Amino acid sequence: MKFIYLSLCFLTFCAFTINAQEVLSPNKKIKVIISSKKTSDDSSYGQIYFRILYKNKLGYIEVMPNSPLGISRDDQQFTDNLKLVNESKAKQANQKYEMICGKQKVCNNLGTEKMFKYVNSNNQPLNITFRVYNDGVAFRYEFTNKSNSLVNITDENTTYVFPKATNRWLQSYTESYEDFYPFSTTGKTADNKQEWGFPALFKVNNNPVWILISEANISANNCAAKLNNSKNSDEYKVNYASPRDDFKQTGIKTNLPWNSQWHTLIIGELSDIVESTLITDVSEPNKLKETNWIKPGAVSWIYWANNHGSKDYQKVVAYTDLAVDMKWPYLLIDWEWDAMGNGGNIIDAVNYAKSKGIKPMMWYNSGTSWLEPTPVDHLLTAEKRATEFAWLNKIGVYGIKVDFFAGDQQDMMKYCIDILKDAAKYRLMVNFHGATVPRGWARTYPNLMTTEAVYGAEWYNNKPILTSKAAEHNTTLPFTRNVIGSMDYTPVTFSNSQHPHITSFAHELALSVVFESGFQHFADKPEAYNSLPPDPKEFLKNVPVSWDITKLIEGYPGEKIIMARKKENQWYLGGLNGKDELKTLKINFDFLDKGIFELKIIRDGKDDTSFDTEIMQIQKGDSLDVKCLPRGGFVAVLQKYDAVKANKQN
């Protein structure tokens, strides 16, 4: 009887399914099937779905069941009333490009692209383009007809469907993206809002296949989106940013033709997730003619230990001197610099930094959200930005940090892009805080060095919750938030702020490698860094912030991670124990080239405030067990032994 029932279901499904197409990744490991289900027996129109298969040793397995596609405008619906009229031949996207900062210097935009042309029941056109990569899938919508007036794109039917019991690490949606990614099998929130921010990580059922969902290539004609699973906990619908009090618009207002953002799904093993460059792969290429002025680097940062420190000239001087001592190229002068006193003003502070060979940067309030900290309203219009940026050039400032954006609405996306474009005209690098997560702008406008959008170390100043959650949180971020772009966590703190941290000193040191950020803001006070033993102090003087290659050696969200990153001829390793118990992390050196390497490892000492350093020789195929304290960690540097020997002789 059961067999008969299943057969009838299969026949019913086939009867209502038409126009099934496939798109395969270049290595044939990922397959996307696009199909249509009739809305009735006598209709040639229907609902469009996509499903994703992933090939393992036993063949293809389904990792995403049939998931709806579609989009709505205020004048037309393109949801369950679509008919396929044409499809393009599969073509290969194959483009190498370089990133100035990020997890990988040379990237390859390699995927199979296919476009499907539909019309709705009013004969209005909609194109859906799929690109299938070796490490994921991207798709977007396109309206190709022209309009003489603005069209309001109000909603999407796009939904990501998962099998029941799928493991998930999701952040409840907040406009600042400053929250945790707790593990769940149910997809429920404590407040029952059921809204989730990007990126969203899933481990599909009992299969060793992971999917990280986000989006990329947001333009001024897009808003950012979020996910909602209020109707079904296993079905995550794309929702556009909600209106806000001073911006009543729902969705997007634009002329046609128009492209949506790319919807992205990074798919594979955990290493595929962590190492993926899919977000920048699908984003627009670099639009800046000259980029030799863009220099990633470490930053001396005053706010964490001294909340209102930028008002005090003497404290700014102390952090400038710290940058000199630690060989960090940059100093960030944070909020309230316009009220600086105690021996000097902002011009004096900038001049002092430059006299010491340190490049100063300055904080700005975006003027759109929380308006208490000054300076406010220096950037809101193109005219104001031109005046302010010209002044920054005149006094010798190299970058800006812009904070407190109002949300993910279309006007905020346009504002961010306008800031990047105008800042580039004046050779100013940019750090966005209180802003949306990275969505590929770092490729298009490479003067975007980093973005906050993370529950980072500054929260030790605000609430006690990070004290107990930091270790687990720090071992989750490399698999979630930091995958999609540079992350300004403001790491590596050894002293305590308002609320203490209980991660070990070696754990904190390892954050400089495990977390990637084009500007790495080291957050502690000068005396904390000056009192470090010679080996960890020297490590912090030299650790890079941009990387040629990134490899995940070992890890699992919330439990542990070992990250290996290469810069020129050196490998840097960072390992974290996310648990409140002793743990041994195993380094497998299969990622190395042939030859003998010198390994210098700095790990937990006898207690959580001490270090232990050891130097040894290793080679490809070796492994090393590293014992970590509860919430502990380690860093290591590897270099070919011949190169080390030559350096010592010189």
CATH number for 487: 3.20.20.70
pLDDT of residue 283: 98
Q: Show which of 512, 546, 580 is a domain's final residue.
A: 546
Strands 183-184, 297-301: pairing is unpaired
pLDDT of residue 142: 98
Q: Between residues 421 and 38, which one has the greater pLDDT?
A: 421
- Cα separation, 269 vs 530, in Å, equals 41
Q: 357 and 491 share a domain?
A: yes
The mean pLDDT of 231-235, rounded to a whole number, is 95
Which amino acid is present at 510?
A
Residue owning tokens 């100043």: 461
pLDDT of residue 183: 95
C-alpha distances in angstroms, 621 versus 463, 590, 592, 600, 618? 45, 5, 8, 18, 9
Q: 274 and 334 share a domain?
A: no
Q: 418 and 497 share a domain?
A: yes
Q: 436 and 513 share a domain?
A: yes
349 has a pLDDT exceeding 60? yes
Both structure tokens of 360: 């100063």
The mean pLDDT of 169-192, rounded to a whole number, is 90
Residue owning tokens 């966590």: 489
Residue 318 belongs to some domain of the structure: yes
* pLDDT range class, residue 57, cuts 50, 70, 90: confident
DSSP 368: S
DSSP 180: -
Q: 243 and 318 share a domain?
A: no
pLDDT of residue 647: 66
Nearest to 394 by CA among 435, 362, 357: 362
Both structure tokens of 313: 């000239």
Q: 246 and 323 share a domain?
A: no
The mean pLDDT of 207-216, rounded to a whole number, is 96
Q: Show which of 505, 527, 546 is a domain's final residue.
A: 546
pLDDT of residue 312: 98
* pLDDT range class, residue 473, cuts 50, 70, 90: very high
Residue 611 belongs to some domain of the structure: no
Residue 562 belongs to some domain of the structure: no
8 has a pLDDT exceeding 60? no
Residue owning tokens 């290595």: 27
Label residues 515-528 b or e (16+ Cβ within 10 Å = b).
Answer: bbbbbbbbbbbbeb
362 has a pLDDT exceeding 70? yes
Both structure tokens of 639: 């270099």
Residues 6+ apart with CB under 8 A from 614: 600, 601, 603
pTM: 0.95
Instruction: Please give the full DSSP string across 24-76, using - where no structure is assigned.
Output: E-TTS-EEEEEEEEESSTT-S-EEEEEEEEEEETTEEEEEEEEEE--EEESS-
Residue 584 belongs to some domain of the structure: no
Residue owning tokens 């799929």: 130
Helix (H) or strand (E) holding 566: strand 560-567
Nearest to 99 by CA among 522, 545, 461: 545
316-331 pLDDT tens trace: 999 999 999 999 999 9
Which amino acid is present at 431?
N
644 has a pLDDT exceeding 70? no
369-394 pLDDT tens trace: 999 999 999 999 999 999 999 999 99
Residue 198 belongs to some domain of the structure: yes
Q: 137 and 236 share a domain?
A: yes
- Cα separation, 76 vs 614, in Å, equals 67
pLDDT of residue 554: 97
Nearest to 50 by CA among 27, 21, 26: 21
Asked which of 15-24, 237-246, 421-430, 439-448 is least confident by mean pLDDT, the reply is: 15-24
Q: 345 and 469 share a domain?
A: yes
Residue 475 belongs to some domain of the structure: yes
**135 within 8 A of 266, measured Cβ to Cβ:** yes
Name the 3-class secondary structure at 550.
Answer: strand
Q: 506 and 440 share a domain?
A: yes
pLDDT of residue 539: 98
pLDDT of residue 13: 42
Q: 303 and 250 share a domain?
A: no
Label residues 77-86 b or e (16+ Cβ within 10 Å = b).
Answer: bbbbbbbbee
C-alpha distances in angstroms, 329 versus 298, 527, 565? 6, 19, 21
Provide the number of structural domains found in the chain: 2
- Cα separation, 184 vs 170, in Å, equals 8
Both structure tokens of 297: 């680097």
Q: Which domain holds residue 85?
A: 2-281
* pLDDT range class, residue 186, cuts 50, 70, 90: confident
474-533 pLDDT tens trace: 999 999 999 999 999 999 999 998 999 999 999 999 999 999 999 999 999 999 999 999
pLDDT of residue 358: 98
Looking up residue 231, the CATH number of its domain turns out to be: 2.70.98.10
- Cα separation, 434 vs 457, in Å, equals 14
Q: Show which of 531, 546, 561 is a domain's final residue.
A: 546
Residue 429 belongs to some domain of the structure: yes
* pLDDT range class, residue 10, cuts 50, 70, 90: very low
Nearest to 577 by CA among 497, 472, 489: 472
- Cα separation, 52 vs 234, in Å, equals 16
Count of positions (residues) in the chain: 650
Q: What is the 3-state secondary structure (H, E, C) of 398-437?
A: CEEEEECCCCCCHHHHHHHHHHHHHHHHCCCEEEECCCCC
Residue percentage of the chain with pLDDT more than 70 = 95
Q: 240 and 308 share a domain?
A: no
Q: 510 and 415 share a domain?
A: yes
Residue 445 belongs to some domain of the structure: yes
- Cα separation, 516 vs 546, in Å, equals 7
